[in-house]
Amino acid sequence: MKIITTSWDDGYPQDLKLADLLDKYNLPATFYIPKTNQEHVVMDEKTIVALSKRFELGGHTLNHVRLYSNMQAGLLENEIQGCYNWIKDLQGYNPTSFCFPGGVLNKASINAVYNSGFKMIRTTELLSTAVASTYNLSPTTLQVFEHPRVAYLKNTIKRSQYKNLIAWLTTSCTTDILKLTDIYINRVMKNDGCFHLWGHSWEIEKYNLWQKLEMVFNRISNISKFKYLQNKDLI
């Protein structure tokens, strides 16, 4: 199976601009939104509900908290179960997908996510075309951000994804998002798998990446033989 999916974190107001661009290119998406976020402003609930009628809403903790291994069990449960209940109340049905802020996860937090009712977890692992891995964790392929080479090295080594690292090193070792898009779309075309694009609208706004993002959308939209899915459909 050849899959294309996208996901977007943090619930920043520019997610609405992102949603319109996704609609323009007929691309499905999952928006991972916390109720509050001390790092960035979050859309109001009325806007989030309107967005839920167009795209999947995913959990991103209640307050955009990084769930470190030393977090107290009560706080861990509040951030995850509270997030699940909040989204359920907003949209009127159970949410499916969850993403850890900052990509910080551990066995206890993974178990807490599944015990709360979520069915899948998206990670921040890069350069992958796998649909899912152990514990039904869904990795990503590319982030809409101009990472230096060292960031890709650290990301893959930290997660012991040496196969992904070697594949990137032996193709072109490029960091250009457009070239990487072409490389990984072609890889999925030949070998099956999932091309998973993700990012933050606040980051796209901050670094003026809207034009480049639209070029990426143009490259990945309406490709025959590909299935276009929301994150929840990956399970």
Give the pLDDT score at 125.
94
Average pLDDT over residues 167-193: 92
Amino acid at 110: I
**Mean pLDDT of all residues in 10-37:** 98
Joined tokens for residue 150: 């060292």
pLDDT class of 176 with cuts at 50, 70, 90: very high
The predicted pLDDT at position 165 comes to: 87
Q: What is the CATH number of the domain that holds 52?
A: 3.20.20.370
Query: What pLDDT digit, counting tens, does each position of 196-210 carry?
Result: 999 999 999 999 999
DSSP secondary structure, 94-120, as one string? ---EEE-GGG---HHHHHHHHHHT--E
In angstroms, rounded to a whole number, what is the distance separating the alpha carbons of residues 41 and 144? Answer: 20
Question: Residue 93: is it exposed, middle or buried by C-beta count within 10 angstroms (0-12/13-18/19+)?
Answer: exposed
Query: Residue 169: what pLDDT?
Result: 86
Query: How many angstroms separate the CA atoms of 9 and 202, rounded?
Result: 9
Domain that holds residue 173: 2-234
How far is it, in rounded angstroms, from Cα 48 to Cα 77? 23
Give yes or no for residue 195 having a pLDDT over 90.
Answer: yes
Q: What percent of the chain is modeled with pLDDT above 90?
A: 84
DSSP 219: H
Q: How far apart are CA 30 and CA 7, in angstroms?
A: 5
Residue 234 reports pLDDT greater than 80: yes
Closest CA to 227 of 56, 28, 55, 60: 28
In tens, the pLDDT along 71-129 reads: 888 999 999 999 999 999 999 999 999 999 999 999 999 999 999 999 999 999 999 99
What is the reported pLDDT for 170?
86
More confident residue, 172 or 26: 26
What is the model's pTM?
0.96
User: Mind listing the pLDDT tens digit for each residue in 119-175?
Assistant: 999 999 999 999 987 788 999 999 999 998 898 888 888 878 888 889 888 877 899
Q: How many domains does the chain have?
A: 1
